[in-house]
Amino acid sequence: MRVRLKPLEEQTIVITGGSSGNGLATAHAAVRRGAAVVLAARNEEALEEVKLDLERLGGRVAICAADVSVEADLEELARVAVGTFGGFDSWVNDAAAATYGPMEQVMIEDHRRIFDVNYHGLLMGSLIAARHLRERGGGAIVNLGSVLSDRAMIYQGAYSASKAAVQAATDALRMELEREGAGISVTLIKPGSVHTPYPEHARNYMGAPPRLPPMLYDPALVAEAILFACEHPRRQLYVGGSGYAISLAGGLAPRLTDLAMETFGIDAQQKPGDPGDPPARDNLDAPRRDGNVRGSQDVFVRRTSLLLTAQTDPFKLPFVAAEALLETAGGLARSLKPRL
């Protein structure tokens, strides 16, 4: 059965992890393009504020306070979508949890929590979505993986392991639904480092504030990839060429990649003197301050991804390449300015 997906303006999209980062960026982009959205996160207060903001933009919005590691919460999320908008056409599994630190120092309970959110939560959400979309005649399931699905990062072992599991589960579900002829597209999005509050939200076992290793990309690019997958059946989409390079290196030269990470990987994930937003720190077990698309650390952020454009709209490549050159020149000028 050929998968046919509706235009965004005719869709209702469920988004977990919708109160910050990539999920919130996707909600904004979806509303601007005419879709209705149903947002889930643990922080109900932040969700209420997000709902008001999106409704001021003319958005059709419903919210559901939910912990994705709890199956009953995800079932309620689906009921909210059905009760408010009559159902949904795309389900985006974006919620995630993370830690920074050596595998031996991260508590086993934290490893379990990361898998409960990143893997079990995504799996339960995908299965609930599949049941609904099968009855609806088709739709899209979009799962947020990572380039760390391909290649583990030192000091992010638990997160890397959960994302490898996400890739395997996504691939297995895609094959089963395709064999069945369910008319459901299943896409895995693999971002590199994205400028979200991820470092602040992660539990930190290191001696310095965590950061994401450069190059960092704007969350709007991840939103672009997610919404593209809601309209166009794709197996997977990478966001950010630097992250894709890590995936390639891990496959082609795994031992050299090990050595590079052992030498540079820990320092690249620390930002002494720049803790970001302290009240947002460590939401592993309970929500903290929320509601921001972007992280608060002072870092250079790319707003273009040639790799993503090549996958979604190659005819735009020359224009995006020109924009990327200007962006890089601006970044260099910014980095040199304090030295002048």
Catalytic residue status for 159: yes
pLDDT interval class at 328 (50, 70, 90): low
User: What are the tens digits of pLDDT across the range 257-269?
Assistant: 999 999 999 999 9
For residues 215 and 225, give the distance between their C-alpha atoms in angstroms, rounded to a whole number: 18
For the stretch 69-83, pLDDT in tens is: 999 999 999 999 999
- pLDDT-derived band at 340 (thresholds 50, 70, 90) equals very low
pLDDT in tens, 257-313: 999 999 999 999 999 999 999 999 999 999 999 999 999 999 999 999 999 999 999
DSSP per-residue letters across 67-107: -TTSHHHHHHHHHHHHHHHS--SEEEE-----EEB-TTTS-
Min mean pLDDT across 23-37, 151-165, 222-236, 298-312 is at 298-312
pLDDT of 338 higher than 70: no
The DSSP symbol for 275 reads -
**Strand 216-217 vs strand 203-204: parallel, antiparallel, or unpaired?**
unpaired
The domain spans of the chain are 8-303, 314-340
For 139-197, write each residue's pLDDT tens digit.
999 999 999 999 999 999 999 999 999 999 999 999 999 999 999 999 999 999 999 99
- With contact defined as beta carbons under 8 Å apart, do 74 and 128 qualify? yes
Active-site residue (options: 159, 198, 217, 238): 159
Residue 329 has pLDDT above 80, yes or no: no
The pLDDT value given to residue 318: 82
Cα–Cα distance for residue pair 53/182, rounded to 1 Å: 36
**Percent helix, strand and coil across the chain, each to the nearest 5:** 55, 15, 30
pLDDT at 333 over 80: no
Whether residue 49 is predicted with pLDDT greater than 60 in this model: the reply is yes
Q: How many helices (H) and strands (E) does the chain have?
A: 13, 11
* Cα dihedral across residues 171, 175, 181, 182: positive or negative: negative
Cα–Cα distance for residue pair 289/43, rounded to 1 Å: 8
The Cα angle at residue 294 between residues 203 and 211, in degrees rounded to 5:
40
Q: How high is the mean pLDDT of the chain?
A: 94
Q: Which DSSP letter does residue 149 get?
A: G
Residue with tokens 């592993």: 284
Domain spanning 8-303: CATH 3.40.50.720: yes
The confidence band for 105, taking pLDDT boundaries of 50, 70 and 90, is: very high
- In which band, very low, low, confident or very high, does the pLDDT at 316 lie, cut at 50, 70 and 90? confident
